[in-house]
Structure 1
């Protein structure tokens, strides 16, 4: 049986890897202006003699940001669903993205903090504290941290934090426009000087999350059985949660709070690879990068010559999927 499944799983990796390559190609060529491949190569080589090549030079960091943020959110969503055994776990639904955004906005509005490195630390701190808060609220009462209680606690926290962000920004006309645009979630205007400082954070989050695959597989069988199998449940959960928090904070600091990527992607990957997190986690990284990249391309096409921010596009895709998941899972754990 295992031998029969392996070609299917390898095919899943190949398909998602090919989809990611296609996504990168579309992101470089499609936009308000279509760019032929000869000008794409010129733009990649740093030549900006033509309008098309100059457009490609601008799209390269934008594409890199979409791939990095999408992969981070997809992987973080898979880890969160594994930790909580909650099919509705997602950085947006659990309020983690909103918490990261709150810390960044407070840093800008109250402390005049600037610089990509500082925003990354603020985003990670906000994501971590919000995740702890939501878990503590969801764990109170009878039954502990059930999927329903975590989802309700995260949704309520997200709404409250979003309202507080508005209260912080409203008196500051000098930053209101840029912050409100950032809150929608987008990858436009990306630059390598702001993207490169995020790479070490993303790598740390990636390694912590991938290293937690064995613990997540054990947790899927139940905490008691996981402990009986020799897994350190508390340490494994802490490591997995740390990886997810770093990834969420990094993506939010760069792009603003983007929802539903971490919800949709892990479910699709489990259809390909089953429930083995050693496969689900890397597949979620590839699929998340592709989903955000394709959403960015779609946002450029549907509103030409203007653009829809990628956060709006993912909401259109993710909201119906969220409703479908609720109806089909009826709030059961994974």
Structure 2
């Protein structure tokens, strides 16, 4: 029998050397999986310290341990938690303020929901109040109700300190709630703009005497925010696949939402400034001696000479919309 030396054996027929691994181990805080020799096992601090939910706001903080070339954990199996401990120390300093803000937000959201629910009931139940003005009010109330409901859901796990599963443990649910919150926030701002636009149109022009253009109002109030939210959500899903989109406000993508909201807030001033200017000029316009109440008829005074009926209609709602 001829002996075939190892050098004569083709390279593709050699048996690969088995890889070395450090054994899976429990360090009293986390169960570390088996790790290939010569590599570093690391895990997010939020995954290790699940009882500290604020750690999810620090996706770059990791705990790690090193596996030696011989398949044995280095430094006697010591786990480096220094990054986690630094974050926890920083949180401890501001935890009192953060908790106070969360409780204030939670209680404020409950009180706001109660008052908004009563307002919505009045606007809906008493049909004699139905008019274009109240339709605008009702849409604003609905957007605020959605916003405060989501805020309650987002703050409840921190206030109750419950250990059961919450939205933060389900990535898609966490991201969906964030998107709904941003949508409701943008919609409420847009409906505030519609409020000012509606009052301005009632006082300064007769364009809407036949009825307010609600298709335009719905497009501004509900449609425009939806377009921006979808664009932002798709961008985040493609370019920032982080759990719950933590630290989203630090990214430039947030300007997809901030820019239109800021523009709308700045635009809010225009209708209200024009509205205030119109109210300021109404008494002077009312007292002009050359103003006539009909062709060739002498000037007449209404039952309430100090207030114009149009102003009463727009500001106090004492008359029905035409």
Same fold flag (TM > 0.5): no
Select the structure that is richer in strand. 2
**Taking CA–CA contacts closer than 8 Å with sequence separation of 6 or more, which of the two structures ends up with the larger relative contact order?**
1
State TM-score, norm by structure 2: 0.29
State TM-score, norm by structure 1: 0.28
